[in-house]
Chains A and B, each alone.
Chain A
Amino acid sequence: MSDDQSAGADIQKSSDNVSATGGEETQPQAGSVNTPKHDGQDVGGLERSQELTPPPLPPRPRLEVNGRPPTTGAGSFRLSKRASRPQLLSQATTAVSLADVHTQSRADFSSNPSSPASRIVSRKHSLSHFGKFRGNSDSGGDDSASLRSYAPTLDARLDGESLLGDVPEQEATPAWRALSAQLEHDDPFDNVLPDLDLFSLQMQHEFDEVCAVDAEGTNEEQTLGTWKAKLKHFFILSASGKPIYSRHGDDQLISHYIGVAQTIVSFYQGADDPLRSFTAGGTRFVMLSKGPLNLVAVSRLGESEAQLRTQLESLYMQILSTLTLPSMEKMFSARPSTDLRRPLEGTDVLLDGLADGFTRGSPSTLLSALECLRLRKTHRQTINDTLLKVRAPNLLYGLIVAAGRLVSVVRPKKHSLHPGDLHLIFNMLFEAGSIKAGGGENWIPLCLPGFNNTGYLYMYVSFFSTSEGPTNGSDERPSSAGEDDELAVVLISPNKEGFYELRKMRDELVEQLQDNGCMNVIKTAVRKRHAACSDIIPGTALRHFLYKSRGNVQFTMPSFEPYYHGLAARRKLMNLYSSMHESIHLKTAHLKVQHCTAQDAAALAWETPLFELYCVAGPQATKASLAHGANRIVQWIRREEERVFIIGGAVF
């Protein structure tokens, strides 16, 4: 709580500092390298960073930890100056031409000795003491893994020995030392989850409602405390500074903060140099301006700027989905002081659903991909054929969704479904309870901004419970709300009057799926839920993984159980995934494989043009076992690709 207050107080100070640097894009990020931990000092992170950022050269002597065997797990923690932080430490991940890599990075450094470029590199979590994974290796045919990982095939294979083997003396190369030098500085985001117990407690109360301040203001302090204790905030305000949405707290409570945010944002907009993000202590602030709206994310969960920006984009899409872009712009051009809360009335649940999903950490959002229900190829084909057979003339998209996972899609040849749009639909169906809870069928006007942000489509939704016996047409309705095992038929049409047409299609679809047995297949698959990691790969050391197929924009994962039970444990796992995701996707680091170990986990990230794979094992797992597990996953996917992913779907 105390650091929160200091963070709040820092806004003003930080803004001064940012102004000094002209809102340079990389500047706020640089702040995160050297800012002191939130230890009660209320010095703005940026100010500190400017004073303390050392020149990246000359490099420091090689760190003692580099000599340690990577398998000692917790031992490698001593790298960190503060033993308490859950420091991740990665070993260089390739033996392939390290020298090359280092030479190159060194060139980067020396060419921009004091420029932001060096900060970008050093900004990376101190955990990534990474190496490059280069395809054009000249180390012989035996070590062809790196080559293959670039080839458009699933044959890619990680060789645990040669790729992840302990890197010998080369670590002392100058560039490496340059990077190591940064390890000495604390990354405030390393410490965001100081202690699982405290974090569990915080997560537990993260979604509690902040009670309103009563008329006399007697509970104001307490309410404010609760509000500040939240790990994550989202604000949406209009360009003229009117509050539109806040995840926590009512207007009275947030009005000051909205005012401050508005002042900061508009100051830079006035200078035609918009502020994108800054950090204060362990808190990251990210701003997104979209036409007449300003969106602000405030997070103490250690997410990167890019990740928070994606989340803000998604909230913005939700607003467009409710209003459409032209009608929103019309409102603001007619009256810039429009209060958007009224036209958005009732959509708080949808925005909350998205925001809470981000706070809990969802693999789907992290990877910008969807998850499919695992089905046999022939079954999926039968379902696709049935969808095509009963297709209504005015149908645009048809989806069968089970427990948040896609079963099948029917779509026109020239329109594919935008993942962002699907995310909004899934959020509406499964996070906001009103559709599921109401029972019956729904007819919902919505705009799918990824498809077309200027007009409405109409969505027919009908839920079935998969736990009951066979359903019989329109008379059945889900017995209870909040069940995870529900099946939804979603049919989208541009025709406002299309309800009865789509309803008829639903009836025919359900009847045929029952006749050909697919309904039972789907229900069985849903009831099976996710397989445990050890069922997918018997005897593996891996506890969890995420595999994203880039071409299909889909991902698959095993069950979180038994290792990641509960909100906090999952969030921690997601933090690990997101830090790896960030390093893999950093524009300045062409990282293909990353291995890192932490107090409670060892992890491996692997990227090729075909897929992204992130896997996590216990802290004792060796690199070889991680690499072995990763290879087994890739083999498994190759075998099961048409089961775990929808390839194409039903196209008309």
Chain B
Amino acid sequence: MADSSQPSAPKPSSSVKLVLLGEAAVGKSSLVLRFVNNDFQPNKEPTIGAAFLTQKCQLPTRTIKFEIWDTAGQERFASLAPMYYRNAQSALVVYDVTKASSLVKAKHWVAELQRQASPGIVIALVGNKLDLCEDDAEGGDEGEGEGQGEEAGEEAGEGKGEGDDGKVRKVSAKDAKSYADDEHLLFFETSAKTGHNVNDVFTAIANKIPEASLKGPRGGATAGGGTQAAISAGQDSSRVNLNARQGAEGGPKEGCAC
């Protein structure tokens, strides 16, 4: 990510299918809206069925075109999920850091993906709504919510940033992180409202997609031009892939998530 050696050279482009899963109202659509349009809508209505969006993600050596399936979180749509994660190279499993039950649901989705989706699928676990609790350091022990917490949290999310009393956090970053490590998942805490970490999630996924699994729509055309890039990208991705298997992925922004 840091070393962009060939800024002007034509980069190989490839499509990556990505599916978002998670309980209703955790902010899946808001994450996508932030990533795709850099926009946020405070009272977004529930998704019906599924939405399909695309967005390009520029990496130093290649361009990834995400084809994103943003699914509805309601129970009745669960039976349609296989249609969306089938053949997906990556998945974003989202929970709400202010709602403990949403992590339980997220774990179910991770298990289903590991059991049913394509074997090499890259899964990221994402705790959203971080703006509601600006207490990155130690959110774990303060479980009790307060009536005014949500309002206050939203206010604070914009302005102050650090040092607020994060009474609304229900899932500690430590617990989620250790679960993600056990399952070899990427892990981020994000805020679709402030945009915090949102692009990083998608960039990290893009970096972790093994080159071998990429089949770009115009791969034949670009292959000749960007041989050098393709080779270096291949090395890069294989290295990342190896790291991933160790459970210690080396995304540069990884440190700031938790």
- Chain A residues close to B by CB (< 8 Å): 214-215, 322-323, 342-343, 345-346, 349-350, 428, 432-435, 437-446, 459, 474-475, 477, 481, 496-497, 499, 503
Contacts and interface: CB of A to CB of B under 8 A. Distances in A.
7 contacts: A349-B45, A435-B48, A437-B44, A438-B51, A438-B53, A440-B54, A442-B49
Contact of A439 (B36, B48, B50, B73): B36
Interface stretch (B74-82, B106-114, B115-123, B195-203): B74-82
B83 A345 contact: no
Contacts of B73: 346
A119 B18 CA distance: 65
Contact of A441 (B37, B41, B51, B72): B51
A434 B70 contact: no
Given A441-B52, A475-B54, A345 B76 contact: yes
Contacts of A499: 52
**A350, A437, A441, A477 — most chain B CB neighbours (10 Å):** A437
A106 to B, nearest CB: 57
Contacts of A442: 48-52
B194 interface: no
B44 A434 contact: yes
B24 A345 contact: yes
A428 B53 contact: no
Contacts of A496: 80, 83
Contacts of A350: 48
B191 interface: no
B129 to A, nearest CB: 18
- For the side of the interface on B, what is the size category? 20 to 34
A215 B148 CA distance: 13
Contacts of B102: none
Contact of A346 (B24, B32, B83): B24
B222 interface: no
Nearest to B71: A443
Given A437-B44, A437-B45, A440-B53, 18 more contacts: A214-B147, A323-B76, A343-B75, A345-B24, A345-B74, A346-B24, A346-B47, A428-B48, A434-B29, A435-B51, A438-B29, A438-B51, A440-B36, A440-B51, A440-B52, A440-B70, A442-B52, A459-B49
B163 interface: no
Contact of B75 (A342, A441, A503): A342
Contacts of B68: 440
Nearest to A445: B49
Contact of B46 (A215, A342, A343, A434): A434
Given A345-B24, A345-B76, A497-B83, A437 B41 contact: yes
B33 interface: yes
A343 B77 CA distance: 9
Nearest to A496: B83
A215 to B, nearest CB: 8
A434 B48 contact: yes
A238 B185 CA distance: 43
B45 A432 contact: yes
**A323, A342, A439 — most chain B CB neighbours (10 Å):** A439
Contacts of B74: 345-346
A497 B24 CA distance: 23
**B36, B48, B54, B72 — most chain A CB neighbours (10 Å):** B48
Contacts of B29: 434, 438
